Structure 1
Amino acid sequence: MPGDQRLQSISRDLNRTEVYGAWERFVQGDDDVYGVRPEVAISWQRSRDQYHIDPYLSEVPNAAVSQVVHSLDQDVVFTELGFCAAAMAHEVASAGGVVTVADAGGRILTAWGDKNTRSIATAGGLAPWFCWSEGAVGTNSMGTALETRRAVMIRQSEHWCQAFHEWSCGGVAVRDVVTREPLAVLNISCWRSDLPSSARKWLESAAIHTQNSLRRRARDSGSELLAAYVHARGRSKEPLVAVDTAGAVVIADDRASVILGVPANTPAVDPAVRWTPQLPPLIHAARYATKRAHSDPSWTGSTQIFTLLSNEPSSIGIRPVFLHNTLIGHLISFGAFVGEQFPQAETGGVLLGPSRRVVALREENRMVLLKTSEVTMAEADGSEVWLLTDDGRMRAALSGLDKLENDLSDTGSFLRVHRQYLVNLSRIREVERREKGELVLVMDNPEHTMVPVSRRNIRAVRRALSI
């Protein structure tokens, strides 16, 4: 073995020993994860503290068929990923590996690859009809990919369950381009050996190819939603907005645009450029409507939400829009009452989810689970995100300020005020107005950190703070 390869092999062995030692300590309750990659450490935390998975679990559970409901988009994704998996099966088999496709619940649907490895995999539950979600077996490439936004590589003792420590795996989830919810996951696994060096590229290329198909379908749906809006606009005198299934604005008329803080009469057919309304209760209402319309296509509904233009709640009526029996979005009218009257939450939104946490990393490789109220602001530095918290400045566990903004969009507390800054509205102490109309926010931390507001966000900030 050449010298460089021998050194690389020794380095890998040392790292594996270090990771296994961290695993042994972590499963016993110690939070020391020195030497463990952040995405793995965060997954371990979920496995131990959220899902309570036995690290010595030896059998993978069967998937619950009754819980599996596939949308048309999922069927498209399964077809695309099946084609990609079949195309790469020969190369994976040559490397002694197995390639699998699983649904959004981690339920394996099909598998290809090396005959001997498949035999071992089947005996260990890495086969169709077994469930590999994190909630079922803890950290693994399929389940962890479903929890994250990028390809995940899990090497041997990085797996949560000791029974899988002889496997190295890589997985990538394909997500709905509108809701960002996972639809399926593609995975490669090798027994007692490292993954091929090209594994990550294989996975990412397959995911990109499949996402492109979904993006084309989403643009077509956006065009249909726009047509439905134009038709309804001619018959309605109320402020009207068309939103997709996640609550992002496709188009709003003059009056609705003022309420929502988005451009007026500006179509956003492509999901990548749709507008985020500066009104979290409307996003809650739209997402509630999406759940109800999925289960009952004839559903319509009304609720009341608070806007920044009045101290009194405003009524909104919601009518789902379908294309070929597939839900593509909603038409929301202000001042209208239709269908089911669903409740208004005390926060001004509807049906809020459980309390949120923001995961940060300390320098000594410890995770910190922060309440949203403990985060004063977030700042982008390239792909990294830095959080200003009650415990000081920490690096966020995830990458990209857009991702953090999306994750916190339904809390109603955070507002993007600049391409580099996301602030907690409840932590603003002062607003400084400059000579040319610029705004600067002064936060309530001991240093009174100052955050600039970009010109395009001044109106949204004024509305949010009622100034």
Structure 2
Amino acid sequence: MRDVHRLEPVSANLGSGTVLAAWERFVQGEDHVPDVRPLVAISWHRCREQYRVDPHLTRAPVAVAEPDHTPEHDVVFAELGFRAASVAHEVGGLGGVVTVTDAAGRILAEWGDQATLARAGEANLAPWFCWSECAVGTNGMGTALEAHGPVPIRGAEHWCQAFHDWVCAGVAVRDVVTKDPIAVMTICCWRSPLPASASGWLANAVTMTQYPLKRRARDSGAELVAACTQARARSGAALAAVDTAGKVVIADDMASVLLGVPACTPAVDPTLRWKPGLPELIAAARYATGQAAHNPDWVGSTQIFAHLADEPTSIGIRPVFSSGRLIGHLVSFGASDGAQVPQVEGPAHPRVPPRRLVAVRDNRLVLLRLPEVSFAESRGNDVWLSTDQGRLRAASVSLDKLDSELADAGFLRVHRRYVVNLGRIREIERGLKGELSLVMDGRTSEMVPVSRRNAPAVRRALDL
């Protein structure tokens, strides 16, 4: 599976040397930390700039109550707990502890060496305390929730100095449809290296826990195809079925044109489902998922800019359930029944624009001032930044997330693949059919296309 790899080797030195010196400089405000692994440096940057975690915190806070989770999550907790308990004797014999954490960073249970458990209790490394990154900074549990794949954090790589005596490795079990984290299994040791078998234990636990999730997601895909076929027989509207993340499972001939996906081609396997490249559709599907989870009778509608369309298209969204479990939605084009889906779902709390953008070059972290960045481009599974230092891969893997973070910092989404720095636009070109292109300043005068749906926002932003 994609999320399980071998743990990368890390220096055996826990708290001294180059990493500790880099940590001391970074918490004082320096940005240049070339001797720190990119995964850790990026996490430090989140802790300092976004989460504002006190590096001198000595204990984890008490976890707060979270909204209800699904029965599927309960199955994951139980299975992962079984896997953790099955290796607890071996881990405990080597002086370590094993924990299972939920998606909010709350420790649900732990097993292992009694002396180490007592030591862990002093830092609140215990059930019902919160170890998310936003609560205690860089650590095996919290950083695994932020990253894909196994996360080893040892010694001075922890953001909080009080945890520099710990060595941890964690890996998250993720929803195979939405990719959101569900739980984390972590192995921790105090002032000693991780067991040599830690990588295998974590990989096996996640593989075995996610196997039934994958099987159930394939079954849900087949049920969505059947639901779409039944609905198609009753309606002449263009129709598609999407999963809870907004990926297309099947679309009829007309809907396939509007969504830009193959026609009448079922994508039952969650790893093979079609990505329509329509941010508004994905946002609407995710909003519908949240609404339907609390109100099974919810039906909604909104407008999106579909492919090959100059004007917004109305769509209706109807949730599909199987045995009481939400598995996706039917999207009918031209429908306008039901509750209106908000066009833009704002964050619960005002977001503070970042002072820097984080990029990676040759396994090293590059911290960029915002004026240094001309534009960001989504290409494949990566986001690339065009900067005064050349083309660099962004630490963020989501252009949507980057767009949200930079919305109040002089950046604007001009195309589904591009976010530009408004202050770096030098010229605007108009094509034969009225389409706009932006000529960015810089030595190469790169051009960025503007989509039809984003053209009005560009004109407003530039007072055209």
- Residues 35-434 of structure 1: pairs in structure 2 closer than 5 A: 35-65=35-65, 67-344=66-343, 350-351=344-345, 359-361=358-360, 365-368=365-368, 374-377=374-377, 387-397=385-395, 404=398, 424=418
Please tell me whether the aligned partners of residues 248 and 274 of structure 2 are also in contact (alpha carbons under 8 angstroms). Answer: yes
1:379/1:325 Cα in 2 relative to 1: closer, same or farther (>3 Å)?
closer
- Cα distance, 1:256 vs structure 2: 0.5
Give 1:447's match in structure 2, choosing from 444, 449, 453: 444
Distance 1:369 1:242 in 2: 42
Distance 1:109 1:239 in 2: 46
**Residue segments in structure 1 that go unaligned for 5+ positions in a row:** 1-10, 345-349, 416-422, 433-440, 452-460
Residue type of the partner of 2:256? S
Residue type of the partner of 2:345? L
Distance 1:385 1:304 in 2: 27
- Cα distance, 1:19 vs structure 2: 0.9
- Cα distance, 1:139 vs structure 2: 0.7
Look up the match of 1:435. Answer: none
- Cα distance, 1:295 vs structure 2: 2.2
Look up the match of 2:4. Answer: none
Distance 1:372 1:333 in 2: 44
1:289/1:358 Cα in 2 relative to 1: closer, same or farther (>3 Å)?
farther
Distance 2:288 2:158 in 1: 38
Distance 2:248 2:378 in 1: 24
Distance 1:54 1:463 in 2: 45
- Cα distance, 1:181 vs structure 2: 0.5
1:43/1:314 Cα in 2 relative to 1: closer, same or farther (>3 Å)?
same
- Cα distance, 1:391 vs structure 2: 4.0
Please tell me whether the aligned partners of residues 376 and 390 of structure 1 are also in contact (alpha carbons under 8 angstroms). Answer: no
Distance 1:384 1:171 in 2: 24
> C-alpha offsets along residues 109-158 of structure 1, whole Å, 9 cap, x if unaligned?
11111111111112221111111011111111100000011110010111
Question: Identity of counterpart residues, as a percentage?
Answer: 55
Moved more, 49-58 or 198-207: 198-207
Distance 2:227 2:72 in 1: 21
**TM-score, length basis structure 1:** 0.81
Please tell me whether the aligned partners of residues 68 and 105 of structure 1 are also in contact (alpha carbons under 8 angstroms). Answer: no
Distance 2:209 2:47 in 1: 29
Distance 1:371 1:151 in 2: 34
Helix, strand or coil at the partner of 1:278: coil
Helix, strand or coil at the partner of 1:366: strand
- Cα distance, 1:162 vs structure 2: 1.0
- Cα distance, 1:175 vs structure 2: 0.6
Please tell me whether the aligned partners of residues 14 and 155 of structure 2 are also in contact (alpha carbons under 8 angstroms). Answer: no
- Cα distance, 1:95 vs structure 2: 1.4
**Residue segments in structure 2 that go unaligned for 5+ positions in a row:** 1-10, 405-411, 432-436, 456-464
Please tell me whether the aligned partners of residues 14 and 191 of structure 2 are also in contact (alpha carbons under 8 angstroms). Answer: no
Distance 1:366 1:211 in 2: 35
> Bigger relative contact order, structure 1 or 2, given CA contacts below 8 A and separation 6+?
2
Residue type of the partner of 1:34? P
Distance 1:108 1:328 in 2: 28
Helix, strand or coil at the partner of 1:311: coil
**TM-score, length basis structure 2:** 0.81
